[in-house]
Amino acid sequence: MTETTKVNLLGLTQPQLEGFFESIGEKRFRAGQVMKWIHHFGVDDFEAMSNIGKALREKLKACAEIRGPEIVSQDISSDGTRKWVVRVASGSCVETVYIPQAGRGTLCVSSQAGCSLDCSFCSTGKQGFNSDLTAAEIIGQVWIANKSFGTVPAKIDRAVTNVVMMGMGEPLLNFDNAVAAMQIMMDDLGYGISKRKVTLSTSGVAPMIDELGKVIDVSLALSLHAPNDTLRDRLVPINRKYPLAVVLDACKRYISRLGEKRVLTVEYTLLKDVNDQPEHAAQMVELLRDVPCKINLIPFNPFPFSGYERPSNNAIRRFQDLLHQAGHNVTVRTTRGEDIDAACGQLVGQVMDRTRRSERHIAVRQLGDEAAPSPSAANRT
Ligand code: SF4
């Protein structure tokens, strides 16, 4: 058997791993043992699995592997924020950002290298689509992040307590792999993260929101960015296919399935003189009138040739106040981590051409709720 035919166990869910062990003539319970070694202890060498006999270890070495994406670089900010550039099998690079805050650590995970959706304010979108990440490459980002803090037994002071699928790419367009990775995140044999603390962010792929609701109950965030179809058609082109009414209906269906007073997170990047005016706030209030939600405002983080500007602090405050006055729970994302580069909306450009970097900010929203709002930097939401 050659290297290329080995099964990468890193990206297998528990049922898939049980199926794998059955397929090689072994007991299904081996799956639990191996998952713990992989995800609880960060092991990638079968030889280290001391509760597995030598014969099985040899068998596994012959037909399987545990392989995360290749780490190209790791930066640690003076404020504790960490950023990894990792190379995936397609040869593309993606980035992962870890944001530590009091009592929690949130990891922003990428699901695709590049993105096909071309949101007009997003640098990742401007790079175009390169490849889907495999489930192993998605969960591998969590694996790498936790490993960077050393070996930690299950559920004891894990570094990553929250995950937001808000890095590069549209996770609902890489559905199966994103779902598998999130299942491993939530599995006690994986990372044991609460369903409330795993958040998938979508630009509004309405049919897949319904599909998501059939298979998983993670928290949901919608990248709204415009309060009417005319403007959203321009800023978030997928809106031409799935307009606001269709997307919000799908979000409401998803949220209502979750029950337990869970709400939609609405992401809204504020662009100076484009979507930051009082009439936009008024339209947003009307649009979200019957949507259980909280709103995260994201002041635009400029990048070269974007054509957009960040609104003034006064304009940001005015917009927030108007939403507050209408009874919405609104947070404004803050920036931090000036000593490393981690702007997700600008990630591909930075990886491809570091000389073009003009911004050195990690932007994180204020994390004041339990649904793990995005730390994803800049303008990728
Ligand atoms: S904002 Fe998200 S969906 Fe839009 S282009 Fe960027 S990565 Fe893709």
Q: What is the pLDDT of residues 247-273, one digit of tens each?
A: 999 999 999 998 778 999 999 999 999
Of residues 31 and 355, more confidence is placed in: 31
Whose alpha carbon is nearest atom 1 of ligand 1?
380
pLDDT score of 363: 33
Rounded Cα distance, 102 and 191, in Å: 20
CB 163 within 8 A of CB 109: yes
Which pLDDT value is given to residue 335?
66
Question: Going from the N-terminus, what domains does the chain have, and what CATH number goes with each?
Answer: 3-65 (1.10.150.530), 70-380 (3.20.20.70)
pLDDT of residue 336: 54
Binding-site sequence positions for S-adenosyl-L-methionine? 169-170, 201, 223-225, 301
pLDDT at 352 over 60: no
Q: What is the pLDDT of residues 196-243, one digit of tens each?
A: 999 999 999 999 999 999 999 999 999 999 999 999 999 999 999 999
* Contact 79 CB / ligand 1 (< 6 Å): no
| Amino acid 83: pLDDT | 93
For residue 354, pLDDT beyond 70: no
Q: What is the rounded end-to-end Cα distance, in angstroms, of the chain?
A: 42
Catalytic residues: 95, 344
What tens digit of pLDDT does each residue of 80-126 get?
Answer: 899 999 999 999 999 999 998 888 999 999 999 999 999 999 988 88
Angle at 299 between CA 125 and CA 210, to 5 degrees: 55
Q: What does the block give as tokens for 88? A: 């995936």
Confidence of residue 362 (pLDDT cuts 50, 70, 90): very low
Ligand 1 mutation pick, 203, 376, 379, max ligand atoms within 8 A of CB: 203
Q: What is the mean pLDDT of residues 324-350?
A: 66
203 Cβ inside 6 Å of ligand 1? yes
Q: What count of Cα atoms within 13 Å lies in the side-chain half-sphere of residue 13?
A: 14
Do residues 267 and 373 lie in contact, with contact meaning Cβ atoms separated by under 8 Å?
Answer: no
At position 361, the amino acid (one-letter code) is H
Question: How many angstroms separate the alpha carbon of residue 72 from the centre of ligand 1?
Answer: 23
